[in-house]
Amino acid sequence: MRKTFLFMDTIYNKVDAKGRVSLPSDYRAIVKESSSEIVCYRSLSAPCIEGCLEDLLDKLASDMENSLDFFSETQDNLTNLIFGDAKRYPFDSTGRIMLSEKLLKHAQITDAAVFVGKGRKFQIWNPQNWEKEEARIRAEVLKNRPSLKPQAEGEK
């Protein structure tokens, strides 16, 4: 049973001419517990790459077969898209993965990428895009939780 297994933090890394990126060392530590590869796919809801351990997709698959009624047809379709798109990305001894053209294009990533922790998953963004997205999310979350708003002045 592993102790640490949450993808966290926001890390900026360079992408070299070959499309290689260092997977943040914290992430690697998590992955290494079970294997030496992560699973990536194009996010369905945003222009970014999503990554996770294969375990998570396995759990999704199990849940799908066990409780069919639980899911709408839309969600059923969504899982099809994910599994059709997902692919394993092994990392070498220096901890780098090589992202495919398809993924890079979808996330508009060229020479740099930002890894954003999401708990059991993480996302990989174009740095500028993530900056905007983070601002958008912050605004939206605070809007939906007015109680947080007044004190939020100290931000930034």
Q: Is 87 helix (H, G, I), strand (E, B) or coil?
A: strand
Min dist CB 13 to DNA, Å, is 3
Min dist CB 116 to DNA, Å, is 14
Q: How many residues bind DNA (CB under 7 A)?
A: 22
Q: Does 66 bind DNA (CB under 7 A)?
A: no
The CA distance from 37 to 30, in Å, is 10
The alpha helices in 2-151, defined as continuous H runs, are: 25-32, 54-66, 73-85, 101-106, 127-144
Q: Which range, of 13-21, 43-51, 91-99, touches a second copy by CB under 8 A?
A: 43-51
Considering only residues 67 through 126, tell me which ones interact with DNA, judged by CB under 7 A.
Answer: 90, 92-96, 98
Burial class (CB in 10 A: 0-12, 13-18, 19+), 49: buried
Dihedral sign computed on CA atoms, order 117, 97, 114, 124: negative
Which of 7, 11, 40, 50 is close enough to bind DNA by CB under 7 A? 11
Question: Under the rule (CB under 7 A), what is the footprint of DNA?
Answer: 11, 13-14, 16-25, 28-29, 90, 92-96, 98
